[in-house]
Structure 1
Amino acid sequence: MNSRSYFPNYYSIEDIFVSQERVECIVNTKLLQMGFLDPGAECEDLSPGKSVNLPLWYIKELKINNPYFSVDVPMIYKNVHKAVCEAETTHIELGKLHPFFYEYGRYLTPYDSNHIVGKIVFETMRQRVRHLLDISKNTNGEGKPERKLDDIENKLYEIGVKTNTFYINWLQMKSRNICISEMVHEHSKKRRRALLSDEESSPQGPNKRSST
């Protein structure tokens, strides 16, 4: 598997960074002895309507319709909403807004009662993916637009530049060896395993031939 590929899981550094983010939540009911969650609280209890910041890893453990907290949509997604509607997201410095814009939004989507975060995340990527392809083809040394890209976009950009370089080298006959893709390689291994399994399960055995 490509060492640069990324999929959120328990051992992913990127996923750990995202899950440490704090999310603003509104208290729905009186919570006894929970005042310590609010550094500015003057009593031991949390009153309904109080705003507290909770880590995302804790929010993930709560049920979506839990009776204790309501997740408030972070302002960064509200700010992007206008640009999404006007199809101008390519001008946004997404990495400056949040280094893990898409992943953070993916975790918050189930807790968004207005159902706008998921749409914003989807539309932002849909509008920016073509622009991402265009800049990845530009290998004239202008450098990567770090602040405009979030973590996932940075990875896609690096893969795009690498793929485009391989393609140009192939067109210019600079590459002598053509490597098969990972998918084809895995498929070939599965076929070999299936053939070996069929030979072993055959009554004649793998080394015997049928007599005429």
Structure 2
Amino acid sequence: MNSNSYFPNYFSIEDIFVTQEKVECKINTKLLQMGFLDPGAESDDLNPGKVINLPLWYIKELKVNNPYFAVDVPMIYKSVHKAVCEAETTHIELGKLHPFFYEYGRYLMPYDRNHIVGKIVFETMRQRVRHLLDISKNTNVDGCPERRLDSIENKLYEMGVRTNASYINWLQMKSRHICISEMVQEHSKKRRRALLSDEESSPQGPSKRIST
């Protein structure tokens, strides 16, 4: 997998950190012999209405409309909602609210009965992406990312700083050559493979190759 990608996967340390987060859940039905899930439980059973904290990795394995637990949306998304509506999310210190704000919200979206978390996550990124572009253009490569960025924003910021530095070096003729992007390289390889395949399947045999 591309090391620059932030999409979660089985081997992603960031994804492991996110799924270890605890989420408040309200008990919907009496659960026998499950009192150990609540450190302050006075009985061996969990009664309806009781609120306990469960790790996200366990919750995401349950059905959204499971009869046992009702997931409560964390307060951090409720507190950001006002800023999203007023288009003032650039002032929010997402890194302090939650270091994995976007990924945490992505996992919680299916359990949000009011369908607010998805809108908050989308609008927050939409409003802040321009700010990320601006600060990445005004910081050198050795500069430290701002503390108000979450994990994904930090990666985008660092990539923006490196890209901007490479562009400036190219304009100032400090770079000997421009590196071909991975996407272009992969496209070129696919094109060569297609040409070779056409030549081998042609009844006239290999023909003169087209230069790429």
TM-score by length of 2: 0.93
2:11 alignment partner, SS class:
coil
Is 1:95–1:146's contact at 8 Å kept on the other side of the alignment? no
Distance in 1 between the 2:45 and 2:83 partners? Answer: 41
Report the number of matched residues: 208
2:53 alignment partner, SS class:
strand
For 1:129, the equivalent position in structure 2 comes to 129
Distance in 2 between the 1:205 and 1:53 partners? Answer: 68
Change (3 A) 1:195 1:141: closer
- The CA deviation string for residues 29-66 of structure 1, in whole angstroms up to 9 with x for no partner, is 11111111111111111111100100101011001111
Query: Does residue 75 of structure 2 align to residue 79 of structure 1?
Result: no
For 2:160, the equivalent position in structure 1 comes to 160
For 1:19, the equivalent position in structure 2 comes to 19
Distance in 1 between the 2:154 and 2:39 partners? Answer: 36
1:197 Cα deviation from its structure 2 partner = 1.6
Q: Which blocks of at least 5 consecutive residues in structure 2 are unaligned?
A: none
2:132 alignment partner, SS class:
helix
For 2:37, the equivalent position in structure 1 comes to 37
1:148 Cα deviation from its structure 2 partner = 0.4
Distance in 2 between the 1:95 and 1:178 partners? Answer: 34
For 2:116, the equivalent position in structure 1 comes to 116
For 1:105, the equivalent position in structure 2 comes to 105
Cα RMSD after superposing both structures: 1.8
1:201 Cα deviation from its structure 2 partner = 2.3
Query: Does residue 170 of structure 2 align to residue 175 of structure 1?
Result: no
For 2:90, the equivalent position in structure 1 comes to 90
Change (3 A) 1:106 1:35: same
1:126 Cα deviation from its structure 2 partner = 0.8
Distance in 2 between the 1:195 and 1:89 partners? Answer: 50
Aligned-pair identity (%): 87
Q: Which blocks of at least 5 consecutive residues in structure 1 are unaligned?
A: none
